[in-house]
Amino acid sequence: MAMCLFLLSFLFHLTLDASAAAGQDSQAPYTERIQKEFKFYPGGRIEITNGLPGSLKVVGWQRASVVLEAEKVFYHMTPEDAKQLSKQISIQVRYAEISASIRTSGPQQQANVEINTTVYVPKDKTDLKIRL
């Protein structure tokens, strides 16, 4: 009987601890979105350098342009702290009609930040160089 009571007490304590931790961690991520479009002819070269954690998706399409959609996602911080950190994270885009470079950079070792990027490029003969 004493063992059952101890076990119930232990499980109840674990449940309360898990609920408290979930309450602390329930803050929704802060997100900023960026979109950039520019003319770009098939046969050109695009260099993408992603220096921060996150995802990169490249999609071929039938247009003579490039569209960059980027999302900065900040976890486990207040919106004010996220906005301050966002100022230190840059997404640089340089382009001409036949060449372009897209580069993300920011403070290293930021486990609570990710940059999720989708780049739409001309489907025919676009030369890609990607560095992660």
| Residue closest to 132 by CA, chosen among 107, 108, 104 | 104
Which of helix, strand or coil describes residue 6?
A: helix
DSSP string, 27-46: PPPEEEEEEEEEE--TT-EE
Query: Does residue 6 register a pLDDT over 80?
Result: no
The pLDDT tens digits for 8-64 are: 333 333 333 333 344 445 589 999 999 999 999 888 999 999 889 999 999 999 999
Token readout for 14 is: 């674990």
**Domain assignment of residue 17, yes or no:** no
pLDDT in tens, 84-114: 999 999 999 999 989 999 999 988 767 799 9
- Residue 16 belongs to some domain of the structure: no
Output the pLDDT for position 109.
66
Q: Into how many domains does the chain fold?
A: 1
pLDDT at res. 26: 57
Q: Which residues pair with 130 in a beta bridge?
A: 48
The verdict on residue 6 lying in a domain is no
Tokens representing 107 are 């403070």
Q: Which domain holds residue 95?
A: 29-131
Classify residue 1: in a domain, yes or no. no
Is position 20 within any domain?
no
What's the rounded Cα separation, in Å, for the pair 30 and 73?
6
